[in-house]
Structure 1
Amino acid sequence: MPEFRIQHITKYIYQGFVRDSANQIILYPINDAYQKVLKQELNISGNPLIDTFTDYYGNKAGTFTHCIPHYEMEIFSKVLVVTNPKPLPVDDMFAASQWMDLEKIRNQVPYIDYLKQEYFEKS
């Protein structure tokens, strides 16, 4: 089972002092039968309290407020995950049938961002 060490750094540098910043982070890997999170370190400048929640799609996300005056902020995430093989989806339907199935669900909320096309006019 392959192990992966993943690091992510986000750094903000402001021209002047910021007195209050509200933030949302989406730095939590999926933890399921195919991927286990063995360890995660999350360090944020000022060491704010992070409130976590599960979003509409089942992803873990966090919010925090950095209230101490600052001119830069750094978010550092370090994760160790192990992965298991995941079977590929069976693709035994003809393409036309797949497109018909997608057409039926294109206005349902979980899929609307992916299936509803917006048409733009050239300027």
Structure 2
Amino acid sequence: MEFEITHVTHYKYGHPAAEAYGEARLTPLTLPSQTVLSHRLVIDPDVPVSGYTDHFGNHVHFFSLPFRHKTLYVSNQAVVRTHPVPLPTASLELPVQEARQILGSVMTDIFDYLQMTPAVQPTRESVQWAKKYLPSRAPLGESLQRLNEAIHAEFKYNPGATENSTPLATIWKNKEGVCQDFAHVGLSILRTAGLPARYVCGYIETDPVRAPDGTARRMTGAVATHAWIEVLVPGMTWVAIDPTNRQWINERYVAVSFGRDQRDATPLRGTFKGSGGQNMKVRVMMKRRGAKMEKARI
């Protein structure tokens, strides 16, 4: 499949900002599951942009606006071809304990993805769920499937229920949040079980797909950037699950950035100097190439 992606972020300040600085992790990577055909990042006001690759392999664009401005507009445009990637069946049939032992031999390569972070903390619930859904003798693939389904069933998708700073303990208590929160819950469980796992930020197809029974349903989280989980399995292969939509990742997903948690992979972050606040609006569209792409207005 080929997709046209448009991701627009518009900042409007209460009073003109004196200056601003930002980092964008918005460049999709070419991976076995996807090929980037084109990519363009537009910043208005127009300013020079420099780039580097961070610790997690993400392409980062840095920009600064050292002058007064009332608005900031960032448009990310890409065309990406996605590919079906078969799951590593042999690795997923291994017991969880055996998978842990094999991966333990490459500890220096996976260390970052076994560590807890301020956003991904161990909790009593993560220990309980690790024992329940990732028992040592259970096949790894079946365990990941059960964990994916359990998070989807137990947590309610509720935009506005959490913020970026909401502690994981609060998310466990209230059992509601958004894709970012569900990814953090899953990462906490997987790392508690000794399985290396990373946070993925990307896009999912905007339009609903018609099922054999004639019904059509849009994936949850399709009108914004989306978050899911990748787990490293023996053979040094990443497999991806999306607890928000209760499925393994397929051709309707495009990965953009990776990290230990949301803070490492956030698409756009920065700071500004000014006396007023700011209002941010975001619009994301990912449509199959050839489908009518409406103008992104925010």
CA separation in 2, counterparts of 1:117 and 1:69? 40
The one-letter amino acid of 1:118's match is: P
1:99 CA displacement: 5.2
TM-score by length of 1: 0.79
The one-letter amino acid of 1:42's match is: L
Q: Show the counterpart of 1:118.
A: 122
Report the structure, 1 or 2, having the larger strand content. Answer: 1
CA separation in 1, counterparts of 2:31 and 2:123? 37
Listed one character per residue, the Cα deviations across residues 60-112 of structure 1 (whole Å, up to 9, x for unaligned) are: 1111001231111010111101122212133021134345667885x923432
Q: How many residues align?
A: 119
- Give the 3 Å change call, closer, same or farther, for CA 111–77 of structure 1 in structure 2: same
What does residue range 1-123 of structure 1 map to in structure 2 within 5 Å? 2-90=1-89, 91-98=92-99, 105=107, 108-113=111-116, 117-119=121-123
Is the contact between residue 45 and residue 73 of structure 2 (CA under 8 Å) also seen in structure 1?
no
- Give the 3 Å change call, closer, same or farther, for CA 113–45 of structure 1 in structure 2: farther
Report the structure, 1 or 2, having the larger helix content. Answer: 2
1:55 CA displacement: 0.9
CA separation in 1, counterparts of 2:11 and 2:21? 13
Is the contact between residue 18 and residue 69 of structure 1 (CA under 8 Å) also seen in structure 2?
yes
Listed one character per residue, the Cα deviations across residues 12-70 of structure 1 (whole Å, up to 9, x for unaligned) are: 11111112111000100011343111111211111111111111111111110012311
In structure 1, list runs of 5 or more residues that go unmatched: none
Q: Which moved more, 1:48-57 or 1:27-36?
A: 27-36
Is the contact between residue 11 and residue 72 of structure 1 (CA under 8 Å) also seen in structure 2?
yes
Identity between Structure 1 and Structure 2 (%)? 24
Structure ranking higher on relative contact order (CA contacts 8 Å, 6+ apart):
1
